Amino acid sequence: MKFRRILAGISAVVMSISALSFSAVSNVTAYTADNVFDDLNQTQITEAMGPGWNLGNQLEASSNGVPSETAWGNPEITQQTFQMVKNAGFKNVRIPISYLSKIGAAPSYTIDATWLSRIRTVVKMALSEGLYVIINMHGDGYTTVSGSWLLCNASSDQQAAIKEKYAAVWEQIAQSLNDCDEHLIFESMNEEFDGTYTAPNRTYYNNINDYNQIFVDTVRKTGGNNAKRWLLIPGWNTDIEYTTGNYGFVMPTDKNRDDTIPSDEKRIMISVHYYNPWDFCGDGSWNKTTWGTDSEKQVLQDLFTKCYSSFVIKGYPVVVGEYGAVNKYNESSRITFVSEVCKAARSRGMIPVIWDNNGNNSGADAFGLFERWSYQVTQQGIINAIMSAFSGNPEPAPDIMTKDNALAVIYSTKNATELASGTADASMAGAVKVRCIFDCASDVSFNKYTYLNLSSTIAGTSSQASVRGKSYDTGVTNLTAVLNLTNTINQGDSYSISAYTVSWANASDYVFLIRSLEFLDSNENVIKTIDKSNK
């Protein structure tokens, strides 16, 4: 979550009573490692983790650079905290953690033993409830936090020390929790960027890529269960567009993982966040209190489909590590929002983890679903919507076109690629138009500078058409271009249809995938379809 604090809405008297009432149960359930690590593949880990919840504004809270779980007005974490979350139906918890001044000086960068012990205790509280647990390095990379140091925009001569420190800290974290089984996932960092919301600076993005690589290498080299567990990494500011598009994200190699893991299986997850649009999700000004138009739902679907096509279908689960909408006494729209997020995530094999900072008033930062002093649910309607989205069968996954099942692949060249040719049969007779259905590559912006040219030759007569983009979105699917034929097709006519695009600098591979060609009669009816299966 963006660096924000909450103001406790409960009086000091109530907080002290709660602390007295529940302090005795803070360690009631001991976690016992059974030394059995279940090797879960992508499908299994995604299903097992289900819907999740963030223990926000606790172990990442700090004051003047000093982390403290009560620094931002929340009570001490207890066993009952996780019992509450489990009983509500959540299957995983994300525990944000800051280290800051708890890290000692170079060269050892030793983490304060008491802080590391507390982290271990809290993690094992959650594990003992059968919950999956994600822990990260949260506030150390915020440009707005006192004592932050994991700064991708720090000068080049500072990066060597930053990376050395980062490796040392993660080595200690990984070693301290190596006995935990597959229920524990490490997340390298949180919302790492330079503090500006424009397109990523490539140099700074390269530093983030370096951090992710150091994280993977460091954790794996500690051996044991850490050589096998799933690891979670973000791109620039956990932004979907800046992670899926051609802005600089590089998948780290995982060459030090346990050699018993099948070569075709991954053990890396991708972290993204979803607070879109911010004026509904996070802005407390009350300017936007509703959500759920067709266009808003489409934005959600499109962005999640980019995650699906860029990572999930390639074996990398995507964790929506934070999402949510603040309380503006607009429960209906908030329910619609979380329901659509969860349904879209589930259908695409993604894992949604709702943000909760124990803010139980209204307006900015009011993300609370529970009241942590009394262990009571405060937003049952929101919780019900999440659980409902995970009941029954998921919605169908998007129809994603790949190079292998495309009718044709269009690369960044002026050379035409033949889409179809032959002699027109009876089913094509009467066609006056050809409609081309195609996808734009996930790293290409489909805008006015990106266009697909179509050409046809029917019985010796040529036709031309060109379609340009209208958007800066990447990975747009099911686009259409219509080619009006000069002459109507007759049975027995020879035909040839081709396509090309001019050079597109940002394309790492192809620019367009052609799904199919549809031949239309004068009434716009489809009379013939050509795709990969019948080319």
423 and 277 fall within a common domain: no
Residue 441: which pLDDT band, with cuts at 50, 70 and 90?
Answer: confident
160, 285: one domain? yes
Give the mean model confidence (pLDDT) for residues 407-427: 93
Known catalytic residue at 322:
yes
Could you tell me if 501 and 409 are in contact, meaning their C-beta atoms sit under 8 angstroms apart?
no
* DSSP per-residue codes, 363-408: STT---SEETTTTEES-HHHHHHHHHHTSSSPPPPP----TTT-SE
Residue-level pLDDT at 509: 86
Contacts of 363 (CB under 8 A, 6+ apart): 284, 286, 326, 327, 328
Count: domains in the chain: 2
Q: Residue 55 to residues 80, 98, 134, 355, 412: CA-CA distances in angstroms?
A: 13, 13, 10, 8, 46
Question: Using one digit for the tens of pLDDT, what is the confidence trace for 479-508?
Answer: 899 999 999 999 999 999 999 998 676 777
Instruction: Tell me, yes or no, whether 124 and 31 share the same domain.
Output: yes
Which pLDDT value is given to residue 24?
Answer: 28
User: Backbone phi, then psi, for 417, in 5-degree steps?
Assistant: -110, 125
Query: Which region among 21-25, 84-88, 112-116, 435-439 has the lowest average model confidence (pLDDT)?
Result: 21-25
pLDDT band at 474 (very low <50, low <70, confident <90, very high): confident
Q: 441 and 364, same structural domain?
A: no
Give helix then strand counts, H and E, for the chain: 11, 21
Among 345, 361, 389, give the residue marking a domain's end: 389
- Ramachandran class of 476: left when φ > 0, alpha when ψ lies in -120 to 50, beta otherwise: beta
Residue 7's pLDDT band (boundaries 50, 70, 90)?
A: very low
Q: Report CA torsion sign: 300, 209, 211, 472.
A: negative
Beta bridge partners of 185: 134
Span 273-323, pLDDT tens digits: 999 999 999 998 899 999 999 999 999 998 999 999 899 999 999 999 999
Give a yes or no: residue 7 inside a domain.
no
Whether residues 320 and 358 share a domain: the answer is yes
Six token digits for residue 189: 């960092």
pLDDT at residue 343, rounded to an integer: 98
CA distance 437 to 87: 47
Average pLDDT over residues 85-113: 98
Claim to verify: residue 103 and residue 212 sit in the same structural domain = yes
Q: Is 157 exposed, middle or buried (0-12, 13-18, 19+ CB in 10 A)?
A: exposed
The answer to whether residues 163 and 312 belong to one domain is yes
The reply to whether 435 and 515 lie within a common domain is yes
Q: By residue range, what is the domain housing residue 418? A: 408-531
State the pLDDT at residue 471: 75
> Do 210 and 289 belong together in one domain?
yes
- Cα 75 from Cα 503, distance rounded (Å): 58
Confidence class for position 16, pLDDT limits 50, 70, 90: very low
The residue from 191, 192, 340, 518 that is catalytic is 191
Q: If you average pLDDT over every residue of the chain, what do you get?
A: 91
> Would you call 395 a catalytic residue per the annotation?
no
Please identify which of the residues 129, 322, 340, 518 carries the catalytic annotation. 322
Give the pLDDT of residue 285: 87
- 35-49, 63-77, 417-431, 464-478: segment of lowest average pLDDT: 464-478
Residue 253 inside a domain? The answer is yes
pLDDT of residue 33: 47
Q: Is 5's pLDDT higher than 90?
A: no
Q: Is residue 443 part of a domain?
A: yes
- Cα 82–Cα 69–Cα 3 angle in degrees, nearest 5: 105
The last residue of one of the domains, among 324, 359, 389, is: 389
Other CB atoms within 10 A of residue 2 CB: 13
CB 51 within 8 A of CB 320: no
Q: Which residue has the tokens 């499109």?
A: 302
What percentage of the chain reaches a pLDDT higher than 70?
93
Q: What secondary structure letter does DSSP report for 253?
A: P
Kindly state the average pLDDT of the residues 54-68.
Answer: 97
Task: Please tell me whether residues 375 and 445 are part of one structural domain.
Answer: no
Q: Is the pLDDT of residue 209 over 90?
A: yes
Span 130-166, pLDDT tens digits: 999 999 999 999 999 999 999 999 999 999 999 999 9
In a domain, 398, yes or no: no
Higher pLDDT, 405 or 99: 99
Q: Give pLDDT tens digits for 353-403.
A: 999 999 999 999 999 999 999 999 999 999 999 999 999 999 999 888 888
Within a domain: residue 82? Answer: yes
The answer to whether residue 403 is domain-embedded is no
Decide which of 358, 389, 420 is a domain's last residue: 389
Residue 6 or 200, more confident: 200
Going by pLDDT thresholds of 50, 70 and 90, the confidence category of residue 120 is: very high
Please tell me whether residues 107 and 144 are part of one structural domain: yes
Structure tokens, 232: 């979670």
Is 121's pLDDT higher than 70?
yes
CATH number for the domain spanning 454: value is 2.60.120
| 43, part of any domain | yes
Domain for residue 402, yes or no? no
Cα 155 from Cα 152, distance rounded (Å): 8
Q: Give the 3-state secondary structure percentages of the chain, helix then strand then coil, rounded to 5.
A: 30, 20, 45
Per-residue confidence at 22, pLDDT binned at 50, 70, 90? very low
pTM passes above 0.85? no
Assess contact for 192 and 141: CB atoms under 8 A: yes
Contact between 367 and 324 (Cβ < 8 Å): yes
The CATH number given to whatever domain includes residue 362 is 3.20.20.80
The distance of Cα 11 from the centroid of its chain, to the nearest Å, equals: 37
Query: Which range (67-76, 201-210, 231-240, 401-410) has the least confidence?
Result: 401-410
Q: What integer pLDDT is reported at residue 442 of this predicted model?
A: 76
Beta bridge partners of 417: 499
| Same-domain status, 332 and 459 | no
Instruction: Supply the pLDDT for residue 167.
Output: 98
At 469 the pLDDT is 85
